[in-house]
Each structure stands twice: as structure tokens, then as C-alpha cells.
Amino acid sequence: PHKTIKKICCIGAGYVGGPTCAVIAEKNPDIIVTIVDINPTRIAAWNSDTLPIYEPGLDKIVKGCRGRNLFFSTDVDKGIIEADLIFVSVNTPTKKKGVGAGYAADLGYVESATRHIARVAQSDKIVVEKSTVPCRTAHSMRYILEANARPGIHFDILSNPEFLAEGTAVPDLMRPDRVLIGSLDTLAGRAAAASLADIYASWVPRGQIIAMNLWSSELSKLAANALLAQRISSINALSAICEATGADVDEVSYACGLDTRIGSKFLKASVGFGGSCFQKDILNLVYLSESLHLPEVAAYWRQVVEMNEYQKRRFTDRVISSLFNTLTGKKIAILGFAFKKDTGDTRESPAITLVNYFRAERANISIYDPKVEDSQIWMDLTEPGVVDDLAELQKQVSIATNAYSACDDADAVVICTEWDEFRDTYLDYGRIYENMKKPAFVFDGRLILDRNRLEGMGFRVETIGRAASSFKTPRDWE
């Protein structure tokens, strides 16, 4: 016999907590879902017409449930006190200082949210770890809860990692491949897992809701992201071979993907992966491996991140060498600043690295992205709190309001994000060509352009994973 959940609180109204709990609310009209956050601006945005994050389909869901059984609030105490089940969905950035800096996750936010729960809870709670965290975090959370609980209060801890990808959060939540619920293998642990499973069972087939032990669940999330990122680094490593041989990475990817053991998804070569998860989770895995005295394992996974850095560097080098080995004073138009299409998120976006490389070469840079806020771009390109930085930066970098003005008078266009509106079937590249310096270069970091078509217009096109048109097979190969 397990408890039926009537009230849910989610701590953290971010990219994970917001969409996940909105969908839970929509699918469970009998459950009251309150999402709380210490950031009042964020909560105000969730309560307004302009949500703080852009996700196709999310507006409709939030507007349908908000005020009915979905609430956004800064009153964290009240949210905790009233709930039977609490999702902890706060940020877990990579540590910048101290032990494990650059690798380990900063669990400060998770810990402070956990202590908050222990401090104010007046009744038993199921506490669900939703943020991506290193393996064994649930263990620490349980320890903190038990050490600080009021007398007589019992906490059950579950791990329920979220697998949604940004830009497709709503369809991913509506039709997840699987839902993992990790629990202690005790009567109470299994009962808590069953209570959470009922919530998902409102729309997810029971067979896809998988129960397992806490640590398997935590590690599965890191493992899944590491395996996905590894596929991208693998195809990107092959893209370098393609450029040097005259093979075409899209053809190689297609051919390999047809093998059902490999599969076709997540094999698109690119300028490099970004996003808040891949790099962070792999570095977590590296740190974990090292802590467990498994240096070979650590080196293996670290290489996935190193390949990603190499890919960005390699692409930049190609831009520089194509532009006659100097970017000084030249104008580079950057199309796309988000780490992928259909999101305004820029965390770990390859565009940031590229712009920094181009700045070091003293290029002038004009950036356009359909969804990223100007203030976000300025923040990403400066050190927090350094005022001089911004003035210096703005001598070199400008933000355009559309793709055409970004490309006006440019020497080169660099596609950093695969937004549909940058495809040659949408954007008028003829018009762009007319207004560019000559020779006009296009660097396709996302393989979204029809190279023959653009070359027909007069462009010189350089694509990831394809040799330049002028390419000759290396002598010794003939």
C-alpha cells in the first residue's frame, strides 16, 4: 500500500523543473503542482505572458494549467510544507574553485535546497532528486535530511533523472523513451517509488517506467549523456578524416547509421556539441573515475571532451586559413548563438568559443540569433563583473536584428546553429552575396546548406566534414 500524491512542490523553476512539472500538472489535473524558486524575476516571468524559457509547445501547456493546478511562487517554505512529494531541480554547475575545480559538480545548490526541506518540513516527504548529479548524491541528501529532520519526520529519497533535450522538451516529456525511478531497496523506498510511478503512469505506459537501485539510476543519467556525446565526438573525429581525404561525412554517417546496431540518430557532424549537460556530465564521470582510482577510465571519457574542443579549434583554423591567414579588421557574421536550434539557451554553446577565437584574431564580429537575448550574448562574452570588458568587447562585436544585416559587408558568414531559418531554402543567400565583400565565404558548421547551390551563386563554401571544392586528393594517395 503506497501513498497517493496530492500535492507536489518543485524546487527550481529552470529548464528542467519548469517544463517537467508543467507536463505533470497537465497530465494529473487532480494533483496541485507548485514550482518555487528563489529567483523572483524568474518566477515573475513564469507568471507572465512571456515565459523565461523558449520551448515549442510549452506556452500552451503552462497557460492551460496555470492558476488551475499549476502555480509558480517564491514562497519556498510554503511549497515544501504543503507538498507530499518534492522535486529538487536546482542548478548543478561545474565547480570553478577548490577540490575538483573544472570537473566536479558544485552541489551547493542541491545541498542548500535539501537543508531547506529538512528545516521547514512538518510532515513526511518523498524527496526526488531530479537535477543531474554525480553518482551517490542521493546518499548525501538522505544524510542531510536525516541529520536535520524534526523529530518524528520521515523522508524517502528517490532518484528520477530527466532525459528531455532542450528545444524538444515538450514532445520528449510527452513520449519519453523511459522514466527511471531509483530508490532504496527497502519497503519504504519501494513504496515511495510506487507513489512517483503512479504520477507518470497517467500518461507513460507502465512498461516504460523502470524501477532500479538509487545508484544505478544516478549513474544511468551520466552514462546516457556520455554515450550520446561520445557519438558526436566520434563522428566529428571522422569529419576531420573526411576533410583530409575527400570523403563526405554525411555519406559516412548515413552509411554507418543504417546498421541497426549503430542507428542513425545523433550522428550529425557539427562544429561541436554544447548545452548544459554533455560536457558537465562527462567531466563528472571523469572526476568520479579518478576518485575511484580508475585513471584509464577517466582518460577514456576525457578524450570525448578534448575531441570537442579540437573540433571547434579546427573549424576556426579553417576559417582563418581560408581567409588568407588573417582576420584582422575583417567582418565575420555569426549566424546562430544558441547551442542548438529551437532554444534560446547558450550554455557551453560552441558559438561562444568561436567568437572568442575570432576576437583573438582581431576580427570584427556581427552576431544574429533568432531567440537569444542580447544581454545573454554580452554576458557570455565577458567575465562577470568586469566593466571595462564590455566596452572593449563592443568595439569588436555587435548584435544584429536579422541575418541580412549581420551579413552586410561581411567577408565571411559562419553558421554556428542549425536554425531552420538559416537554410538556403528560407534565407535569400543571393541577397546576402550581393552585400558581402568578395570573395564571399560561407562556413557551414552545421551541414545545413546546399553547397552546390551556394557555389552556383558565387560563394566559396567550406563545410564541416567535406573537403573544399578546390580539394585535390593528396599526392601519395593517387
Strands, E assignment, 39-79: 70-73
The residue sitting closest to ligand UDX, measured at its beta carbon, is 275
**What cell numbers appear for 271 in the block?**
562544429
> Is residue 259 within 8 Å of 225, Cβ to Cβ?
no
**Residue 16 engages ligand ADP in binding (rule: CB under 6 A):** yes
Backbone dihedral region for residue 57 (phi beyond 0: left; psi -120 to 50: alpha; all else: beta): left
From the candidates 9, 10, 242, 277, give the one annotated as an active-site residue.
277
**Residue 131 engages ligand ADP in binding (rule: CB under 6 A):** yes
- Number of helices (H), then strands (E), belonging to the chain: the values are 18, 14
Q: Which span (79-87, 148-156, 160-168, 363-371) binds ligand UDX, by CB under 6 A?
A: 160-168
Q: What own/partner pairs with CB < 8 Å and gap ≥ 24 does 386-395 have?
A: 393/359
The residue among 130 and 142 lying less far from ligand UDX, judged by its C-beta, is 130
**Residue 176 engages ligand UDX in binding (rule: CB under 6 A):** no
Identify residues 289-348 at the interface with ligand UDX (CB under 6 A): 339-340
Residue 76 site contact among ligand UDX, ligand ADP, none (CB < 5 to 8 Å, cut-off depends on kind)? ligand ADP
Give the shortest CB-31-to-ligand ADP separation in angstroms.
Answer: 20
Give the shortest CB-53-to-ligand UDX separation in angstroms.
Answer: 11
Nearest to 159 by CA among 123, 211, 122: 211
> Is residue 242 within 8 Å of 256, Cβ to Cβ?
no
Residue 38 site contact among ligand ADP, ligand UDX, none (CB < 5 to 8 Å, cut-off depends on kind)? ligand ADP
**What cell numbers appear for 120 in the block?**
521547514
Cα torsion 85, 90, 94, 100 to 10°: value is: -50
- Cell 558565387 sits at which residue? 458
Q: Which 3 state secondary structure label does DSSP give 428?
A: coil
The residue among 52 and 445 lying less far from ligand ADP, judged by its C-beta, is 52
> Is residue 18 within 8 Å of 53, Cβ to Cβ?
yes
CA-to-CA dists, residue 118 to 9, 115, 293, 387, angstroms: 14, 5, 34, 40
**Residue 18 engages ligand UDX in binding (rule: CB under 6 A):** no
> Is residue 441 within 8 Å of 459, Cβ to Cβ?
yes
| CA 442 to chain CA centroid, nearest Å | 26
The residue among 75 and 455 lying less far from ligand ADP, judged by its C-beta, is 75
| Size of the residue set binding ligand UDX (CB under 6 A) | 19
Contacts with ligand ADP, 214-253, as mask; x by CB under 6 A: ----------------------------------------
Q: Which of 13, 365, 414, 447 binds ligand ADP (CB under 6 A)?
A: 13
**Which residues neighbour 394 within 8 Å (Cβ) at sequence distance 6 or greater?**
none
Residue 346 site contact among ligand ADP, ligand UDX, none (CB < 5 to 8 Å, cut-off depends on kind)? none
Asked if 277 is an active-site residue, the reply is yes
> Is residue 447 within 8 Å of 465, Cβ to Cβ?
yes
**Residue 163 engages ligand UDX in binding (rule: CB under 6 A):** yes
The residue among 125 and 312 lying less far from ligand UDX, judged by its C-beta, is 312
Give the shortest CB-416-to-ligand ADP separation in angstroms.
Answer: 21
> Is residue 411 within 8 Å of 330, Cβ to Cβ?
yes
Contacts with ligand ADP, 70-109, as mask; x by CB under 6 A: ------x------------xxx-----------------x
**What cell numbers appear for 137 in the block?**
548524491
> Is residue 232 within 8 Å of 39, Cβ to Cβ?
no
Give the shortest CB-188-to-ligand UDX separation in angstroms.
Answer: 28
Q: Which residues bind ligand ADP (CB under 6 A)?
A: 11-17, 36-39, 42, 76, 89-91, 109, 112-113, 116, 131, 276
Q: Which residues bind ligand UDX (CB under 6 A)?
A: 162-166, 225, 228, 232, 266-268, 270, 273-275, 277-278, 339-340
Catalytic residues: 277
